[in-house]
Amino acid sequence: ETGVTQSPTHLIKTRGQQVTLRCSSQSGHNTVSWYQQALGQGPQFIFQYYREEENGRGNFPPRFSGLQFPNYSSELNVNALELDDSALYLCASSRGGATNTGELFFGEGSRLTVL
């Protein structure tokens, strides 16, 4: 059973640029969630995808968007980057729908630095 994998692990962007982060979910999981973790803080929920549809969103602006693909992998896109977007972006996979237990399994994250 493969775990959650994220890419890239580190990246540096400048203000105003756009970034795409990628996540492969754990085998057998059909739900992907994205979290933002600022330095010294707990992860904050961005949004969740279940069967390719967004089915929950946190308090993040529309320039944060995502996709889920038929193989349940996912992308997080952030447009018009701001300095405060510098953070560790975490992807978590889980079983959704009727089999949802609440258990989330996280990847190692993508560390984004915005200059």
Partner 1 sequence: QQQVKQSPQSLIVQKGGISIINCAYENTAFDYFPWYQQFPGKGPALLIAIRPDVSEKKEGRFTISFNKSAKQFSLHIMDSQPGDSATYFCAAHTGKLIFGQGTTLQVKP
3-state secondary structure (DSSP) of residue 74: strand
14 or 27, CB closer to partner 1? Answer: 27
What is the amino acid identity at position 13? K
Pairing of strands 110-114, 10-13: parallel
3-state secondary structure (DSSP) of residue 52: coil
107 near partner 1, rule: CB under 8 A: yes
Q: Distance (Å, rounded) from C-alpha 106 to C-alpha 115?
A: 26
52 or 103, CB closer to partner 1? Answer: 103
Site for partner 1 in 3-62 (CB under 8 A): 4, 33, 35, 40-45, 48, 56, 58
Residues lying near partner 1 in the complex (CB under 8 A):
4, 33, 35, 40-45, 48, 56, 58, 90, 92, 101-109
